[in-house]
Amino acid sequence: MAITDRGTPLDRLARERRFRAVFNPPADVGGRFSALSAFGLVPAALIGVDVPSLLERAREAADRGRLAPAENPAVGLGLAIGAAAAAGMDKLTLHTTDDLAAFPAWMEQLVAESLGKNGVGIVPVAGEAILPAGLYGSDRVFLVWESTGGPPVGLPGGMRGARIEVEDRLGLGAEIIRAELAVAAAGEVLGVNPFDQPDVEEAKRLAAAAMACQAATAGTDPAPAQSAGAMAGVRRMVGELGPGDYLGIHAYLPPGPEIEEAIGRLRRRITEMSGVATTFGYGPRFLHSTGQVHKGGPPGGVFLQLLDDPGQEVTVPEAGFGFSRLIAAQAEGDYLALRGAGRRVLRVTLGSDRPGGLQAIAASLT
């Protein structure tokens, strides 16, 4: 089964090899707005989601989205977060109850790729632990989704933002529509086009050049995490963070709970030391989604790129290269694109000892 735009290499391959099914979503729907197209609905159906009910909630939200601005919950939300960002509160911090925990990752891409451009925008902060009130900077605003009847998200008092009640998980159909309309309204406030992504192509171009051994690679080799140079670099990077900055951790590592727990502790320590927001994600996501705000958004982004030694190479079928080479090229392309955008970036490799490398980075901040 394949879900892809018509005419792509995957579309041609699927038809040539007679895949069981090929789904071509509408060509005029951008990726981050496509959750309620075949890209999202086919996987939802396969895992047993009640798709008709999900879409009925979405239709109801779309109808409310046609109301006048004063009566329109989506436009009201977008105007609020856009005005907050214009006033310097541009770190939109996302929290949910446990049963909705996957939603912020989608919201993060929607906000980052739609609104981070022309040197302005909103930086979405997902997956961050709830911290004591005194650790948050004045650039924060919170957006919280809570299930009806469940325990509330325990934010500290005095935090600016909004809480949205979701009847059940099928209510996410309505929340997707609300979020998409809100982002469009926020783009109007900020003076940016929420439907383009001008800064993501450069990282893809540089990654392709690295694959072809054409990239300018001088000075891009990562420092070993347990080396004195890497530990000093991390200390210096965190020590130089100031008001309005944020630190993004870009992990070109295999996803897993051990990695995420260690990164979670590291994020908390960075905020305790500096008061700035932190973001985290696995590469190569930054080449085509959240990377838009990293390169084109507010200039206060500072980035820690984490790599490793993946060990035995695994060949990409019929491609003539392996996954480790591909990932290394993607990481290098993103590094060069960030540097080209004037961002501060530090590259560190964990080598083959990922837990030990993360411990060394954490130890540098004690």
Tens of pLDDT along 204-259? 888 888 888 754 454 578 999 999 999 999 999 999 999 999 999 999 999 999 99
Q: Average pLDDT of 44-70?
A: 97
Q: Average pLDDT of 91-95?
A: 98
What is the reported pLDDT for 217? 53
Which of 214, 198, 232, 222 is closest to 335 using CA atoms? 222
What is the reported pLDDT for 200? 85
Q: Say whether both 284 and 216 belong to one domain.
A: yes
Confidence of residue 267 (pLDDT cuts 50, 70, 90): very high
> Does any domain span residue 195?
no
What is the reported pLDDT for 173? 98
Mean of per-residue pLDDT scores for the chain = 94
Per-residue pLDDT at 54 exceeds 90: yes
What is the reported pLDDT for 219? 53
Q: What is the dihedral of CA 321, 325, 330, 334, to 10 degrees?
A: -150
> Does any domain span residue 56?
no
Q: Say whether both 301 and 161 belong to one domain.
A: no
> Does any domain span residue 316?
yes
> Does any domain span residue 55?
no
> Does any domain span residue 15?
yes
The CATH number assigned to the domain holding 136 equals 3.40.50.10490
Per-residue pLDDT at 333 exceeds 80: yes
% of the chain at pLDDT higher than 90: 86
Q: Say whether both 210 and 354 belong to one domain.
A: yes
Q: Say whether both 300 and 178 belong to one domain.
A: no
Q: Say whether both 125 and 36 belong to one domain.
A: no
Q: Which residues contact 297 (CB under 8 A, 6 or more apart)?
A: 112, 115, 116, 117, 119, 120, 121, 122, 123
Confidence of residue 311 (pLDDT cuts 50, 70, 90): confident
Q: In angstroms, rounded to a whole number, what is the distance separating the alpha carbons of residues 138 and 90?
A: 10
> Does any domain span residue 113?
yes
**Domain count across the chain:** 3
SS3 221: coil
> Does any domain span residue 58?
no
What is the reported pLDDT for 221? 85
Q: Which residues contact 40 (CB under 8 A, 6 or more apart)?
A: 34
The residue type found at 53 is S
Q: Say whether both 207 and 157 belong to one domain.
A: no
What is the reported pLDDT for 38? 97
Beta bridge partner(s), residue 251: 282, 306
Q: Say whether both 156 and 249 belong to one domain.
A: no
Q: Average pLDDT of 166-171?
A: 96
Per-residue pLDDT at 286 exceeds 90: no
Q: Average pLDDT of 30-41?
A: 95
Domain-ending residue, one of 165, 190, 215: 190
Q: Say whether both 359 and 220 belong to one domain.
A: yes
Q: In angstroms, rounded to a whole number, what is the distance separating the alpha carbons of residues 72 and 129?
A: 31
Q: Say whether both 332 and 233 belong to one domain.
A: yes
Per-residue pLDDT at 327 exceeds 80: yes
Q: Say whether both 186 and 204 belong to one domain.
A: no
Per-residue pLDDT at 291 exceeds 80: yes
Beta bridge partner(s), residue 145: 96, 164
> Does any domain span residue 61?
no
Kindly report, residue by residue over 180-207, the tens digit of the pLDDT.
999 999 999 999 999 999 888 888 888 8
The residue range of the domain holding 174 is 67-190
What is the reported pLDDT for 57? 98
Q: Say whether both 238 and 297 belong to one domain.
A: yes
Q: Say whether both 12 and 96 belong to one domain.
A: no
What is the reported pLDDT for 215? 47
Domain-ending residue, one of 131, 158, 190: 190
Domain-ending residue, one of 133, 165, 190: 190
Q: In angstroms, rounded to a whole number, what is the distance separating the alpha carbons of residues 351 and 223?
A: 10
